[in-house]
Amino acid sequence: MGNHNSFREALAQCRQADKTSENQAREYLDRLTKPVGSLGALEDLAAQLSAIQGRVPPAAPSKPALAIFAGDHGVLEEGVTPWPQEVTTQMVLNFLSGGAAVNSLAKSAGASVVVVDVGVASIIDWTGVGDGDNEPRFIDAKVRPGTGNLASGPAMTIEEAEQALSVGASLACEMIADGADLLLTGDMGIGNTSPSAALIAAITGKSAHEVTGRGTGIDDDHLERKVAAIEAGLARANPSGINGVDGVARLLAELGGIEIAAIAGYIVGGASLGVPVVMDGVISNAAGLVAVAAKPEILDFLIAGHRSTEPGASAAIEYFGLSPVIDLNLRLGEGTGACLAVPVIQASARVMSEMATFDSAGVTDKT
Amino acid sequence: MGNHNSFREALAQCRQADKTSENQAREYLDRLTKPVGSLGALEDLAAQLSAIQGRVPPAAPSKPALAIFAGDHGVLEEGVTPWPQEVTTQMVLNFLSGGAAVNSLAKSAGASVVVVDVGVASIIDWTGVGDGDNEPRFIDAKVRPGTGNLASGPAMTIEEAEQALSVGASLACEMIADGADLLLTGDMGIGNTSPSAALIAAITGKSAHEVTGRGTGIDDDHLERKVAAIEAGLARANPSGINGVDGVARLLAELGGIEIAAIAGYIVGGASLGVPVVMDGVISNAAGLVAVAAKPEILDFLIAGHRSTEPGASAAIEYFGLSPVIDLNLRLGEGTGACLAVPVIQASARVMSEMATFDSAGVTDKT
């Protein structure tokens, strides 16, 4: 995690996916024994995997890997959530001992899990946690202990933002070197739907009101304070010139959070090595917007694993022009929605490689 | 498949699922280390499995099994589709040789496949088809070679409808006896979105126009003829008194199809033995409506595996009050959407049994 230039290096290596393979994939899909387009979004996924891999049909990803980035948020001062900050640490320990929703869903998806402290406010004492089999793995890569309050000042320095971006980018590259062929994003951070909404508003141009929701479930008073905090942050940061590496570092420094920056870097790291990245919910969607603002070609490697109930998630997914794989009203984060998408993504590649064509099966096409 | 009373016997055994277990499941879900309700529809699925199994947490279904019922349709005379009738037979052979989309998706879901001819117009010569390992298995249970044209006369006799219902009910019971703990529905039949739309209109009270779509992909002329054929069928059959065993047999005899009747029977067979049934697309939704019209308690055992693009599918799912597990614009049938839902259904049970509670994990609940 030591190289603070990892993000810039990874970003420089990002290229567009292979559009020729994507077109060949679409032609091939139309020759399979089914009415044209009848597998719906499954065909889009298969064509995207073809473009990413540069081959038709694509191979089904067989080694999904999830990184959960954790951080805390100074915006809690504004009273945006009823959950106390210590829950971030408690949930990190819950991940490490295997008791969280994401542990079960990652297991079902066959995904390895790594938990990364990039910005938790307290020092995480994880000695004795877990069953000793090193799964999930824990990485201490703390950039700083929590962000500043985005409503009243910068969340972090530009250097800290770049450091967090590089933690994510270098971890992604390391995971791919270890064999991962499908990266899943995950997050933990009490209050982190606030910086996510702020980033989504800044990048999509929507208002704070339009993209701010109830997170994991807050009441009207909390929601009002949350919208006000995000509006204050946007007014203060006055985001403009948010594209390119300097633009996104500046934006993240203003609005945070540390784990969102790390996820953005992780997405860039995956794309730089030609590996698809499955976004989880609204926090990951915000990070995806940041990554695409840094370099638009990165969009070719992004899959919307699910649609969170948070309005900012729909705003981001619409901005990307993507369709969510899973749409089950989840609003938990952690990577849970990304994990649920894995079998569908794998099936999209398998069905394309295993089906017969009209010619080979002797089936009459429509007149 | 010989017992023509199987359907009536299975129907008599259907009971409501265990609402006490469902309530206990909801209370238990709220003690898990996540904000209340944050796993969205995954929690509803887990609670439904608890109700069906009568235990909290539920066991994850481990032996999904798909039956694909095939039949032909006299309504093709009306010019409702550009696909020739012989494609039904060709696709049955494609299923048996493993080249269809559903073969791949069933394999990904870990589901066994049985293909049942209940009403294909031609005699299926399946000697030499497949790789000799008896998977998929083929069952010849032909009730009659295709239906009559529903626009101008009954699709079949009431006795034939009851026979088809019993084929499905007894097959479901046989599959459960062989260990299946999650039944998936599938269909094949060129033209079968027409009788499905007719049944959905008859049962939900919506108009033919509202529930009729482009099936696997027809043009405006075909669509116009399709709506007209369904309107003619509804006017002719004048469906009323469609509830209970006699009502549904009469309705199926008027509007068909043979494979839809068999799927309805199969659903009843599953519910009679307390096994959840995952519906595929609009054809299965129509069969589900028929099953629930026969006995409302059967709804407790139904899962909407996916939402087909066909408008009748949304009308039926809304009528059931269900949420689809998968919503990816599929319009293929065969059981493809039901197969894609399997990992999500399994994950819903696993996450409930594997997660820690707030107490056990030492996580602070919200203030």
- Tell me what the mean pLDDT of segment B159-171 comes to: 98
**Cα A39 from Cα A26, distance rounded (Å):** 12
pLDDT at A322: 98
So which residues of A are the catalytic ones?
Answer: 334
pLDDT tier, B216 (very low <50, low <70, confident <90, very high otherwise): confident
Residue of B87, B104, B192, B222 to mutate, interface with A, max A Cβ within 10 Å: B104
Is residue B341 over pLDDT 80?
yes
Mean pLDDT value across residues B50-72: 98
Query: pLDDT at position B5, please?
Result: 76
Task: Convert the pLDDT of each residue in B3-60 to its tens digit.
Answer: 667 999 999 999 999 999 999 999 999 999 999 999 999 999 999 999 999 999 999 9
Cα dist from B236 to A355, B295, B343, whole Å = 41, 25, 43
* Chain A residue numbers touching B35 (CB-CB < 8 A): 83, 216-217, 331-332
Q: How far is CA A169 from CA A50, A137, A199, A279, B351, in A?
A: 23, 17, 19, 15, 30
Which of B103, B104, B361 has its CB closest to that of A94?
B361
| Whole-Å CA distances, B363 to A88, A193, B290, B294, B356 | 9, 20, 47, 48, 10
Distance CA A303, CA A46 (A): 11
How far apart (Å, rounded) are the C-alpha atoms in residues B304 and B337? Answer: 9
> Closest Cα partner for B11 from B294, B339, B346?
B294
Bridge partners of A277, per DSSP, are A183, A302
Overall average pLDDT of the B173-183 stretch: 98
Q: Of the candidates B222, B206, B238, which has an alpha carbon nearest to the alpha carbon of residue B314?
A: B206
* B107 contacts chain A (CB < 8 A): yes
- How sure is the predictor about B147, in pLDDT bands with cuts at 50, 70 and 90? very high
Give the per-residue pLDDT at A360.
86
Q: Which residues sit opposite A114 in a β-bridge?
A: A67, A137
CA A340 to chain B, closest CA, distance in angstroms equals 7
Residue A206's pLDDT is: 97
Over residues A198-211, mean pLDDT: 97
Ramachandran sector of residue B79 (left: φ over 0; alpha: ψ -120 to 50; beta: rest): left
DSSP letter string, B63-117 = -EEEEEEEE--GGGGG---SS-THHHHHHHHHHHHT-SHHHHHHHHHT-EEEEEE
Sheet holding A64-71, edge to edge: A137-140, A112-119, A64-71, A182-188, A277-279, A302-304
Residue B148, Cα to own-chain centre: how many angstroms? 23
Please give the span between the terminal C-alpha atoms of chain B, in angstroms, as a whole number. 60
Structure confidence at residue A237 (pLDDT) = 93
pLDDT tens by residue, A33-66 = 999 999 999 999 999 999 999 999 999 999 999 9
Does residue A2 register a pLDDT over 60?
A: no
- Residue A321 to residue A317: CA distance in whole angstroms: 6
Mean pLDDT of all residues in chain A? 95
pLDDT tier, A367 (very low <50, low <70, confident <90, very high otherwise): low
Tens of pLDDT, residue by residue over B95-126, are 999 999 999 999 999 999 999 999 999 998 87
Give the number of beta-carbon pairs within 8 Å between A and B: 202
Mean pLDDT calculated for residue range B285-289:
98
pLDDT digits (tens, 9 = 90+) for A215-249: 878 899 999 999 999 999 999 998 788 889 999 99
Residue type, B9: E
Strand order in the sheet with B302-304: B137-140, B112-119, B64-71, B182-188, B277-279, B302-304
Question: Is the pLDDT reported for residue A147 higher than 60?
Answer: yes
Q: Is A235 on the interface with B (CB under 8 A)?
A: no
Which of A29, A33, A38 to mutate to test binding with chain B, by most B CBs within 10 Å of its CB? A38
CB distance B71 to B259 below 8 Å: yes
Both ends of chain A: CA-CA distance in Å? 59
pLDDT over threshold 60, residue B331 = yes
User: Do the chains contact at A90 and B309, CB–CB below 8 Å?
Assistant: no
Residue B130 has a pLDDT of 62
Query: Which chain A residues are within 8 Å of B350, Cβ to Cβ?
Result: 104, 107-108
Interface test with A, best of B187, B334, B355, B357 (most A CBs within 10 A): B355
The confidence score (pLDDT) of residue B241 equals 82
Rg for chain A, CA atoms, rounded: 20
Q: Which two tokens stand for residue A194?
A: 């606030």
Is the pLDDT assigned to residue A132 strictly greater than 70?
no
pLDDT of A125 reads 84
* Shortest alpha-carbon distance between residue A163 and chain B (Å): 30
Q: Is the ipTM, as predicted for this complex, more than 0.85?
A: yes
pLDDT of residue A130: 62
Quick check: B65 pLDDT over 80?
yes
Q: Which residue of A has its CA nearest to B364?
A: A87
Residue A211: per-residue pLDDT: 98
pLDDT score recorded for residue B126: 77
Which residue type is seen at A29? L
Element (H, E) at A47: helix A41-53
- Chain A segment 15-54 residues within 8 A of B by beta carbon are 32-42
Q: What percent of chain B has pLDDT over 70?
A: 97
The pLDDT score that the predictor gives to residue B4 is: 65
| Res A183: pLDDT | 98
Question: Chain-centre distance of CA A227, in angstroms?
Answer: 23
Q: Which residues of B are tagged catalytic?
A: 334
**Helical (H) or strand (E) element with A69:** strand A64-71
Residues within 8 A of A (CB atoms), B 121-140 only: none
Name the band, by pLDDT with cuts 50, 70 and 90, for residue A4: low
pLDDT of residue A365: 77
**What is residue B124's predicted lDDT score, i.e. its pLDDT?**
85
Could you say which of A84, A362, A366 has the minimum Cβ distance to residue B82? A366
Residue A207 is classified by DSSP as -
The pLDDT score that the predictor gives to residue B133 is 62
Average pLDDT over residues B321-334: 97
Can you give the pLDDT at residue A69?
Answer: 98
Contact criterion met (CB < 8 Å) for B33 and A364: no
Which residues of A fall within a CB distance of 8 Å from B343?
108-109, 340, 343-344
CA B27/CA B30 separation, integer angstroms:
5
Q: What pLDDT does residue A131 have?
A: 56
> Is the per-residue pLDDT at A128 higher than 80?
no
* A347 pLDDT above the threshold of 70: yes
